[in-house]
Amino acid sequence: MRDTGIPSSRRPASDVASSIMDDRASSVSRASNISRAMSYASTAATTVSISGEISSQLHGGYHHPLARQWQAERQLTKDMLIYPIFVSDIDDEEVLIPSLPNQCRRGINRLIPFLEPLVHKGLKSVMLFGVPMKPGSKDALGTSADDPEGPVIKSIRLLRQRFPQLFICTDVCLCEYTTHGHCGILREDGTLNNQLSVDRISDVAMAYAAAGAHCVAPSDMNDGRIRAIKLKLIDQGISHKTLLMSYSAKFSGCLYGPFRDAAGSAPAFGDRRCYQLPPSGRGIARRAIVRDINEGADIIMVKPAGQFLDVISDAKDLGRDLPIAAYQVSGEFAMIHAGAKAGVFDLKSMAFESSESILRAGATIIVSYFTPEFLDWL
């Protein structure tokens, strides 16, 4: 049989069988075509004559592994990947998160030993999430988010020093740091105070950028925060060395559960539906994308990824001059692991298929918990 180009470890047994069948079938028909072609001119799709219909003949375009790769507009490469990591304020801890397979929450002392081998394998970028665990570290304003001795700012400094080539993104939000677990500052009635939230979130973004983060990525979904952050970065004279990546089309839903276990950021009451987008809202997502482009975002992100490929495609269309990122979120990652564990599919095959779909939709950057695996697989 011909080389399908897929390492057998990536190819489920059923696929191997069907490709053998295909090859047998096509070599049989090839042989009979030749004999038939010599005896009479056929109009059958697989036996075209020079005057026949040829638009049905596609196999030639992807019969070889290299030709199959050429069908993709873009290939997954290591530099497209951003790895999300959770850094707690308990310096020596390293705790597996049960709902987020193989992922840990780590204290700062565990960071370098964990990342060193990944950097050697080609890790290019991380996204930092701070997790305050110490009692009393949360309040209504999320004061600890930009604590100079907090896990995010300490990690930025450490990573800049130890891995000068590593591109450091920081998620900017308040939900990990507020007692109520919402992504902004609340009014008496429990609704978001957008103005105060934006003031606070832009201060946090500033602090991360000033500490050396290459990229600040606000995930709070308050209105107008991109403009506020951009203005503060300009005002502080650091906008030229800080990339502003907006979680623009961030949808509400049940796919963030494992993340909230990892980050301890589940809302104490209510939900996030008044600031995260309604999953059926394609139009509102387009408006959010356009708004954030106009407010000065350097990269637009769509999240979750797999259920919102149409929105990724819209983002590419609306933001044709910007890089588009997609976040394959904790729930998507956990689902893929669960499916593989249940024998529904092979983990590696699905990790590739899901990522390739995200690229096909228009993203060129993927925030992915599969990053360590891809560093081995690619």
Which residues line the annotated binding site?
A: 173, 175, 183, 260, 272, 330, 369
Two tokens, residue 220: 């709070």
Q: Are 103 and 86 in contact (CB under 8 A)?
A: yes
308 belongs to the binding site for ligand PBG (CB under 6 A): no
Pairing of strands 125-131, 365-368: unpaired
Q: Are 241 and 213 in contact (CB under 8 A)?
A: no
Among 81, 108, 183, 301, binds Zn ion (CB under 5 A): 183
192 belongs to the binding site for Zn ion (CB under 5 A): no
Whole-angstrom Cα Rg for the chain:
24
Amino acid identity of 90?
A: I
Positions annotated as catalytic residues are: 250, 303
Interaction pattern, residues 204-223, with ligand PBG; x per rule: CB under 6 A = ---------------x----
173 belongs to the binding site for Zn ion (CB under 5 A): yes
Interaction pattern, residues 133-152, with ligand PBG; x per rule: CB under 6 A = --------------------
Segment contacting Zn ion (CB under 5 A): 182-190, 206-214, 289-297, 341-349? 182-190
Segment contacting ligand PBG (CB under 6 A): 54-62, 225-233, 254-262, 353-361? 254-262
175 belongs to the binding site for Zn ion (CB under 5 A): yes
- Total residues in contact with ligand PBG, by rule CB under 6 A: 10
239 belongs to the binding site for ligand PBG (CB under 6 A): no
The rounded distance, in Å, linking the Cα atoms of 244 and 256 is 23
Other C-beta atoms closer than 10 Å to the C-beta of 158 total 17
183 belongs to the binding site for ligand PBG (CB under 6 A): yes
CB of 4 or CB of 88, closer to ligand PBG: 88
CB of 48 or CB of 86, closer to ligand PBG: 86
CB of 265 or CB of 364, closer to ligand PBG: 265
Least distance in angstroms from the C-beta of 171 to ligand PBG: 5
Segment contacting ligand PBG (CB under 6 A): 40-48, 140-148, 168-176, 229-237? 168-176
Instruction: Look at the block and give the residue holding tokens 């987020």.
Output: 100
DSSP 8-state secondary structure symbol assigned to residue 89: S
Distances in whole angstroms, Cα of residue 196 to Cα of each of 113, 186, 205: 39, 9, 14
Helix ranges restricted to H, 212-308:
225-235, 257-263, 282-294
- Mutual angle of helices 151-162 and 111-120, in 10-degree steps: 40
Q: Are 145 and 130 in contact (CB under 8 A)?
A: yes
The rounded distance, in Å, linking the Cα atoms of 271 and 273 is 6
Which residues of the chain form contacts with Zn ion (CB under 5 A)?
173, 175, 183
Binding residues for ligand PBG (CB under 6 A): 171, 173, 175, 183, 219, 256, 259-260, 329-330
